[in-house]
Amino acid sequence: MKKIFVLLLGSLIIQYSSAQVMINAEIRNLATKAFAHFPKIKEAENSILLAEEKAKLVELNRQPDVTGDAGYSYVRPKIELPINGTKFQFAPLNNVTANLNGSYTLLDFGRLKAAITQSKNELKMATHGKELIQHQLAYQTAAICYQIVYLQKAIGIQDTLINILEENSKMAESLFKNGTALEIDVMGIRSSIDAETNRKTELISQLNKQLILLEFATGTSVFSGTAFDITIQSDANANSSHPELLIGQDRWEQAKQDLSLAQLKNRPVVGLRASMGTRNGYLPNIADLRFNYVAGLNFSVPLYNGGKLKQQIKIQERFATQQSLALESLQQNIQKDIKQVQVDLASSKIRMPRADSQIEVARRSVSLAYSRLKNGTGTHLEVSGANGMLQKALLNKLQLEYQDCMAQLEYARLLGWKFW
């Protein structure tokens, strides 16, 4: 099972040098601004610095520990014995000590090495965490920019339709005054103008909200792009190198390392200890301070802990399995999302020519409605209806272009491609 999963992971994290995503240079610059502006990035950078400091701390466990001790104690009762009729004192009342102590681990049977590996894994996870935030922020910025492009184009279509309706309204009012048109025609056109103006107002409101989001993410609300100018190199067999997968693998590696550390706790530790200093209390002159030293080896091995270590190892094994399953689940979800986006991209290629055909038919309908109106066989309502159909066809084409753009953007995001 583990061998199969390792092979699966090897296929997940492949970086495709041939994979490309071409995007507006202004959007790339905005993404870079977002990295410097968004506070979450600074938090991630601080996490990396914290992980680096922790790694240095673990490395310092290679060094010996040296401490200095000094003490004074007053002891009663006095320890003395009568010898040949004289009281002889064996210990001083005033005890003074001053020592320099050192300890060093000679053999820990892999404990320190495992701890260093664990700290490096934590640093790698923190680095991948920053990359994930940048990845999310860059694609969020691009999505906002293309939403702005869509809304601006939609507002332009609304302006064109409203201008046409205003012209029709003037013509209808003139004909109504001359008695060649009905009041219902005038009222119908004015009602259409009000409806389309309300729709334009809603679009402007959405545009302003997107500009606020852009400023929140990047620190600026200025974007001059006017096209859905994203191009990707689609590969139906491409594997994802999404940062979430990298973090998932980091979690799995960290869980395995925690298991290794738990297993190493039942191994012995061999250490060197030494101490030197001065103290009183040495016979026969117990009040004199004398130099002293001691050196030796420590050997410590766990013998019995009530089964706690064994249970901890079982827990770590379960947790490592849990992380491997979570990573496999994440990979399957991303692959599922990639396949769905590929379906959307294929659908866009099929629907786009049909949208162009609908626009052409709507334009001919508008031309025919005007011709009928000039010849006296048509009405202004027919002209308004034809223009409404044209507007609907243009908006449908615009929505297809926007959806195709967002599908390409999502495809690149899921594959972990960078455009910045």
pLDDT in tens, the chain (420 residues): 444 444 444 444 434 433 478 898 999 999 999 999 988 999 999 999 999 999 999 999 999 999 999 999 998 888 887 877 777 788 888 999 999 999 999 999 999 999 999 999 999 999 999 999 999 999 999 999 999 999 999 999 999 888 888 877 777 777 677 765 667 767 777 888 888 899 999 999 999 999 999 999 999 999 999 999 999 876 656 667 889 999 999 999 999 999 999 999 889 999 999 999 999 888 888 888 899 999 999 999 988 888 899 999 999 999 999 999 999 999 999 999 999 999 999 999 999 999 999 999 999 998 898 788 777 777 767 877 888 888 889 999 999 999 999 999 999 999 999 998
- For residue 74, the surrounding DSSP H or E stretch is strand 65-74
User: What local confidence, expressed as pLDDT, does residue 238 receive?
Assistant: 63
Residues in the chain: 420
User: What local confidence, expressed as pLDDT, does residue 237 receive?
Assistant: 60
User: What local confidence, expressed as pLDDT, does residue 179 receive?
Assistant: 67
The vertex-124 CA angle with 122 and 129, nearest 5°, equals 95
Is 2-14+23-62+114-265+308-414 in CATH node 3.20.20.210? Answer: no
Contacts of 390 (CB under 8 A, 6+ apart): 161, 359, 362, 363, 365, 366
What secondary structure letter does DSSP report for 239? P
Please give the model's pTM, rounded to 2 decimal places.
Answer: 0.80
CB atoms within 10 A of CB 222: 10
Distances in Å between the Cα of 190 and the Cα atoms of 169, 197, 239, 374, 384 are: 7, 10, 55, 21, 10
User: What local confidence, expressed as pLDDT, does residue 234 receive?
Assistant: 65
Distance, CA of 217 to CA of 144 (rounded, Å): 10
Contacts of 304 (CB under 8 A, 6+ apart): none
Q: Phi and psi at residue 141, in whole multiples of 5°?
A: -60, -45
> Please, are residues 16 and 242 in contact by the beta-carbon 8 Å criterion?
no
For β-strands 80-83 and 231-232, DSSP reports them as: unpaired
User: What local confidence, expressed as pLDDT, does residue 137 receive?
Assistant: 95
Using DSSP, state whether 221 is helix, strand or coil. coil
Q: Phi and psi at residue 247, in whole multiples of 5°?
A: -65, -40
Distance, CA of 41 to CA of 37 (rounded, Å): 8
> Please, are residues 419 and 412 in contact by the beta-carbon 8 Å criterion?
yes
Q: Phi and psi at residue 230, in whole multiples of 5°?
A: -120, 135
Q: Please name every residue paired with 298 in a beta bridge, in sequence order, or none if there are none.
A: 271
User: What local confidence, expressed as pLDDT, does residue 4 receive?
Assistant: 45
The residue extents of the domains of the chain are: 2-14+23-62+114-265+308-414
> Please, are residues 95 and 74 in contact by the beta-carbon 8 Å criterion?
yes
